[in-house]
Structure 1
Amino acid sequence: MKNLLRIVCGVGFLLAGIAHFTRSRGFEAIVPGFLPFKKAIVAISGVIEIMYGFALLLNRGTSFVTKTLPGFLAAVFLANVYMAVKRIPLGNKQLPPWVLWGRLPLQWLLIKGAKKIDS
């Protein structure tokens, strides 16, 4: 079960990290307006997610991932709150408010679940 969780999370982070570069405008849109250097923030967070994805898939550095992932997810939580408050579309699709707000607790479940990934 632990290996399955590690692989699913690894694929998820790898795909999300790649999306930071292939769909950067969408990610830049959810960076709160008061933060400067939106492109850099999106690129840096994308690289971090790609590194997490590879680390988990290769089963290397998982203890580093599990120790740093909660802080990373807490940092990007602000973007998800901003997305919900401003009703920013996901790509070109406008999600209903209940979906935008309902996905926020899922991030906290990921933070809590990060401890279970370490092998």
Structure 2
Amino acid sequence: MFRRLLYGTVYTVAGVLHFTREENFRKIVPKVLPCRKFIVQASGVMEVLFGLSLLLRKPGPKTKRLLQLFLVAVFPANVYMAANNIDLNGRKLPWWALWGRLPLQGWLIKEMDKL
């Protein structure tokens, strides 16, 4: 239950940040994609919905699968951020932090099965 509440809180907060700090998130959406602001806002809505869902109840298999697919869908933005050394809130991160967080995405995908 702790894991579910932790992830629910993280997803909810991250989703809200997609709106309050939208320009920071837009920087990590590859420039070849159209409607980058919309992509950030849509992914923010999805994160808030996933987060609230986790906070309210134990997820079923479909919700877990949707969360995993969402994590796969946003993975290219994390690669783009690392490959282009994009700052986070105006702070340059060391290369090992940018690249080191990529394997965490796979770990998070596996974590969804444990909820």
Sort the TM-score into its range (normalised by shorter chain): over 0.9
Q: Superposed, which structure 2 residues align to 1:61-76 within 5 Å? A: 62-63=59-60, 64-76=62-74
> 4+ residue runs of structure 1 moved beyond 4 angstroms?
none
Q: Once the two structures are superposed, what CA deviation does each residue of 1:57-79 show, in whole Å capped at 9, x if it has no partner?
A: 0116x113212011100010000
Which of the numbers 34, 37, 46 marks the counterpart of 2:35?
37
Stretches of structure 2 that go unaligned for 5 or more consecutive residues are none
> For residue 27 of structure 1, what is the amino acid of its counterpart?
F
Q: Superposed, which structure 2 residues align to 1:13-92 within 5 Å? A: 13-59=11-57, 62-63=59-60, 64-92=62-90
TM-score computed with the length of structure 1 as normaliser: 0.93
Query: CA RMSD of the aligned region, Å?
Result: 0.8
Whole-angstrom distance in 2 between the partners of 1:110 and 1:65: 14
Q: Once the two structures are superposed, what CA deviation does each residue of 1:36-83 show, in whole Å capped at 9, x if it has no partner?
A: 1001000000000000010000116x1132120111000100000000
C-alpha deviation, 1:91, in angstroms: 1.1
Stretches of structure 1 that go unaligned for 5 or more consecutive residues are none
> For residue 48 of structure 1, what is the amino acid of its counterpart?
M
> For residue 72 of structure 1, what is the amino acid of its counterpart?
F
Partner of 2:106: 108
